[in-house]
Every structure is written in structure tokens, then in C-alpha cells.
Amino acid sequence: MVDDSALNDSALKRQARTWYEANWDPALSTGAWFRRMAEQRWGYPTWPEQWWGRGLSLAQAKIVRQERRRVGALGPPSGIGPTLLAPMLFEHGTDDQCRRFLWGCAVEGWQVCQMLSEPDAGSDLANAQARAERDGEEWSITGSKIWTSGADLVDHGMLLARTDWDAPKHRGLTFFLIERDQPGIEVRPLRQMTGDARFNQVFFDRARVSAADVLGAEGDGWAVTRTFLANEKNSYNPAAHEGGPFGRVDLDRSAGETLEVLQRRASAASAGRGIGRLLADLVAQSGRGADPLVRQRLARLWIRRSLLNYTNQRSRTAAPRPGAVGPISKLSVSDLTRGQRDLGLDVQGPSGVLVGEQARSSAFQYFALNSPSLSIAGGTDEIQRNHLAEKVLGLPRDP
């Protein structure tokens, strides 16, 4: 076992740098490099020591990431599995579940999605109607889930289903880790107003899940879901991510080639103009840059962006009030997005309704059409405000 949590920053930096300099080998296969990081506990240093981690804080993990990037090494897999499923396993999972799913996400490239929302339940997750019935050593799942990103590509889904119809709605739920690729599951893409189909509706027709893949106790699914929601809020903080590849990668490809692919994507993304720059261009084109009301709105956006950066920095260097930073960050992103969208469309005047090649900026119009999703995905703005009011500020519950 290792215990790096008591190391000072300088000692941790030296140790991480020494390890990455000695072990990074771009000729290794991507899968072999992931395995080496996991076995030596450098891939996910915030994970507990018994599960391929070092028990480090987010601030300490940032030091490790900086040294890895300085050496130029490929990072470990990122995404829902390491970011959201892992902390749920640490709190509710059995040793067998931790061993299988953590290793699968860290080394074998397993992809995971959430299967919580339903067409008739909306943000009221506790009103889930998907049915789970026990059948020997398995459960049979029937129902539907919606707004599931990546459901057509993942290996497993984190599924909330009702197992006791006589219990109050928060107490009759059970949380499952279900294999997605099986005959009883159908995934249908949902077309958005941007033209994309990034979300899906998933239909279950007597789909099977092993009793060994119930996360937490039977009927205690709401407690597991609350753990998920708490970590989902915090996942909007960049400090929660290890900085490696999102999505499925070719484990047989060399680690150096995988890193080059990721760097090319990052370079292409950075070459694209950011929303702030696109907004500045639209203001300039409109000739309203000297308008005091426009200048005031631009200043307000700058202040909001600065406050968001300071909030995220504070969460990395100090112990924030539990449950506060995630919802505040998410609400700030939603508010900043709406402000940018509204100002960009306003200064275009009648041209603001145009899209595609006719628009002054097709990239900005796409951003505007996509902007409502930021106030919905990961828990609606209303849910975030209720959480802050009730759980953080201690105000009376909403009737």
C-alpha cells in the first residue's frame, strides 16, 4: 500500500515526476499504459489506496496531473465511469463490484451512461416507473429512460428502477448496473433543434441484470441516486477530471498514437473561435460597441465569468461548504450561457433568426440553439436552486 496523502507539495511533485519520467513509454499499447498507471496507482490518485489510488485530495491530484503533462504522458480514461460511477462504488459498492467496474473503467475502456430520467417523471427522479422484478439470480427490467447521452455506445448503464410498488416513492427504488448490449434493450436517438442527436431514449423489454449488479441494498436506490446527484454537480468542476481521453479508444493502438489523436482534436478545438470572441465580433459588426447598455451587459458577463473561475479555484484549494460549489458552478454556467446567447442574438437584430450559411455566425447560432441544454443536463437549474436553498442554506422545503 502507498500513503501519499501526507506528502507536502514539493515531495509529491518530485515523486510524480520521477515516476512518469521512468515509466512513460509511447510505444506501449494504450491498454498496457492504462494498466501500468492503475497498477502503480498514478492514474486516479484521488481514489482510495485499496482501489488503485493514493487517497489524494483534488489539489494534490492537480499536482500529479501537471507533472504528467510536463512529461507529456497520456492521461487515464475520463468520463462518467471514473468521475461519477467510481465515487458511488466507493460508498455503496461491494468489493466484487469495485474490483470489476473500477478496473473495467480504468484499464479495459468500459463506457458508462446514466439511465435515470423518464419521459413522465422529468426531474422528479424518485417518481421512476421503470419496473424491476426479481427472477431467481437476475432481475427483469421493463420501462423506458430518456435523455441518456451515449446510450448507443456504452457497455453499462446506471439504472434506477422501482422494485416495491407498495412503499413510498423514495423507498421503493433499487439501483442497478446493467449491461447495455443485450436483446431486451433498444436505443432510439432523439433529434434536437440543433440537428444533432446526442441524446437517446432507451426502452427495456424484460432486459436482464444480475442480482450481483444491484448497487447498494434492494429498496435503497434513492440513497445511491443522491450520491450520484451530489457527484454529478461536482463533475462540472474541472478539478474532478483527470484529463485523459473521453469515450472509447483503441486499446491496441500505441499510447503515443492515442495521445497524438487527442492532441490534434484539442488543437482543432482551440483553433475554433470561442463564444466570447464570437460574441465580441457580433457586437463589433452591429456597430453597437459604444452603446452603454451593450457595454454594461458585456461587463456583467465578464464579472460572471470571473466569479465562476474564482469559485472553481477556491474548490481546489480549500474545503468548500459541502454541496455548495457544484450547484453554484452549474448555475453560473447556465446564467453565463444565457447572457451570451441573449446579447449575441439581440445585437444581430432581425438577422438573429437566421441559421446556417445565411447567419452572420453559424457557430454562434448553433451555440444559441444548444444553450437550453446547459440548464437541463445534469439537473435543471430549479433542482440546483432547491438543493442550495434546502440542503445548504437550511430554508424550508418547497411544499
Catalytic residue annotation = 232
Residue finishing a domain among 184, 218, 234: 234
Among 234, 260, 291, which residue terminates a domain?
A: 234
Domain count, the chain: 2
Q: Are 286 and 340 members of one domain? A: yes
Q: How many CA within 13 A on the CB side of residue 52?
A: 22
* In a domain? residue 50: no
Q: Is residue 41 part of a domain?
A: no
Q: Identify the residue whose cell numbers are 445511491.
A: 224
Domain that holds residue 328: 272-392
- As a whole number of angstroms, the distance between CA 28 and CA 31 comes to 8
Q: Are residues 327 and 209 in the same domain?
A: no
Helix H segments across the chain? 9-23, 30-39, 58-71, 80, 86-92, 95-97, 103-106, 221-234, 255-271, 275-286, 292-317, 325-348, 362-370, 381-387
* CA 289 to mean position of chain CA atoms: 37
Q: Over its length of 399 residues, how does the chain's per-residue pLDDT go in tens digits?
A: 555 656 788 999 999 999 999 999 999 999 999 999 999 999 999 999 999 999 999 889 999 999 999 999 999 999 899 999 999 999 999 999 999 999 999 999 999 999 999 998 766 788 899 999 999 999 999 999 998 988 999 999 999 999 999 998 888 999 999 999 999 999 999 998 988 888 899 999 999 999 999 999 999 999 999 888 877 765 554 445 566 788 889 999 999 999 999 888 877 665 556 899 999 999 999 999 999 999 999 999 999 999 888 877 776 665 556 567 778 888 999 999 999 999 999 999 999 999 888 899 999 999 999 999 888 877 788 888 988 898 888 999 877
For β-strands 156-162 and 112-115, DSSP reports them as parallel
Q: Is there a single domain that holds both residue 101 and residue 175? A: yes
Does residue 165 form part of some domain?
yes
CATH number of the domain that 309 lies in?
Answer: 1.20.140.10
pTM of the model: 0.82
